[in-house]
Chains A and B, each alone.
Chain A
Amino acid sequence: EDQVTQSPEALRLQEGESSSLNCSYTVSGLRGLFWYRQDPGKGPEFLFTLYSAGEEKEKERLKATLTKKESFLHITAPKPEDSATYLCAVQLPYKLSFGAGTTVTVRA
């Protein structure tokens, strides 16, 4: 069965303290892996799409990487405004399968 698991569930960081979020997946024939950011009380906002192992995407302090079994979202020198829940999803025919998310809190 296709599955997406994110870890850790929650991450508390000091401002400037870099860290990584993990998304592991079991999908036969990955069509795409997606990262979203969700702020409290809002809908998810698209960040990145990764399609093949070795691919990397960057946006400001965020960098997403992909291997054959997992993806990482690296947060470099985070700021309080990076506090959010980060969701990972894999592409299935006509739909996405989401992980439960990692809630990141960055303290000033």
Chain B
Amino acid sequence: DVKVTQSSRYLVKRTGEKVFLECVQDMDHENMFWYRQDPGLGLRLIYFSYDVKMKEKGDIPEGYSVSREKKERFSLILESASTNQTSMYLCASSSPGGESRAGEQFFGPGTRLTVL
């Protein structure tokens, strides 16, 4: 069974802290994505990667960075957490590479981050 796992289901951090969210997929997928999901706004793409060490900005990259050192792992970093980054964060992966297959994405369970 295909699987995308995220390091935490719930996380509470303080304003100004550096936050790491990790995502691991076991499907050998080339493409990986980070989204945030807020009520009424749907899923918004933060960053994506279509290869190891490659990264592309999504629609709302400000305040975030990412790292992809290995094919199976994609990390989202909040350099200095702020209260407006309180949200549900979802990781996804897809295969094979190329734009035509970005749609059949497999999602992790999500991390609900609260920044106080």
Contact = CB atoms under 8 A, between A and B. Distances in A.
Given A43-B4, A43-B90, A31 B99 contact: yes
A94 B30 CA distance: 11
B23 to A, nearest CB: 11
Name the residue in B44, B50, B105 with the highest tally of chain A Cβ atoms < 10 Å from its Cβ.
B105
Contacts of A93: 99
A49 B58 CA distance: 22
Band of interface residues on A: 20 to 34
A99 B42 CA distance: 6
Classify the secondary structure of A's interface with B. loop
Contact of B103 (A43, A89, A101): A89
A96 B45 contact: yes
B102 interface: yes
B103 A49 contact: yes
A34 B43 contact: no
B106 A95 contact: no
Given A43-B4, A43-B92, A91 B102 contact: yes
Nearest to B41: A100
Given A43-B110, A94-B56, A100 B104 contact: no
A32 B56 CA distance: 21
27 contacts: A32-B100, A32-B103, A41-B110, A42-B109, A43-B4, A43-B90, A43-B92, A43-B108, A44-B90, A44-B105, A46-B105, A46-B106, A49-B103, A87-B43, A89-B103, A91-B99, A91-B103, A94-B48, A94-B56, A95-B33, A95-B48, A95-B58, A96-B45, A96-B102, A96-B103, A98-B42, A98-B43
